[in-house]
Amino acid sequence: MNRESQIRKIRRFLEGKGKKDLDAFCIYQWVERCHYHSWWDLAVALAPCLPPNALDRDYHRRLDFLLLECRKNLQSVRKELVELKNPGAKEGFYVPKSFWNTCNDLGIELEGRSSRNLKMVFLGKRLFCVEGIETAGCVFRFPDWDAESLTSWLNSRGFAHIAKEVIWPRKGSQKQKARLKISWANATNLIPSIIEEAKTDPFVLWEGLMNAIRNKRDCTWRGYLAFIRDRYGIILTDDQSKKTRRLFVAVCEEAGDHHLAKRLSVD
């Protein structure tokens, strides 16, 4: 059984969705596997599933040693981690502080109620889901790319070393949302480029300007442009500014907000 299948099976068991009548030795082997792959949190979570004296004395000694190592490593690692929870979710995930600090600094927020993944959004646009969270890394799932387009984008941005980790679907299968296996260090380095790509999305621009209007009701067009520049790092060319302004003025006029339309017409 490969690594991904094994961790899915262990997680399903811990969630109460897998086999419930596993023998003690099978669980012991899982603890060994978790120790080997640095899935320390899973090893610790498996410990209560083993009843006392369910194994021979030597195996219990080995088990005690493995769990002690896992607890020590988990305690050490968690000093550099932060727990993230989706709004309304019962359980959270531990990710490196450096990763979340980068997300937070760039304006990325959490969305949804899932306890299986973290949905990352920027100005209302879903960027990616963080899945398969482990100590060493995770999997990004992108809603707007398939494996081919993601690989092409990564190569064009100088991330050829990361593009090698794109998870390709089986031959003959339908197009699927792109998935990328990535270390936390690479994930942290990749996020600024993902944000820069998102800023070219008209929906993101629109939401940014709407936030500017909501926060600065009595402002001019230049003031709103300054707001999205300073708050989100979105900078429009003169041509983009003219087209976007005409659109906003037209929408305001149609909605009957002539006062706002008039102010948007003033620099």
Beta bridge partners of 131: 139
Please tell me the pTM assigned to this model. Answer: 0.75
**Domain edges within the chain:** 3-76, 85-198, 202-264
What's the pLDDT tens digit per position in 191-232? Answer: 999 999 999 898 999 899 889 988 887 788 899 999 999 999
What's the pLDDT tens digit per position in 81-112? Answer: 888 887 777 778 889 999 999 999 999 998 87
SS (H, E, C) 18-44: CCCCCCHHHHHHHHHHHHHHCCHHHHH
Encoding tokens for residue 222? 């230049």
Q: How far apart are CA 245 and CA 233, in angstroms?
A: 18
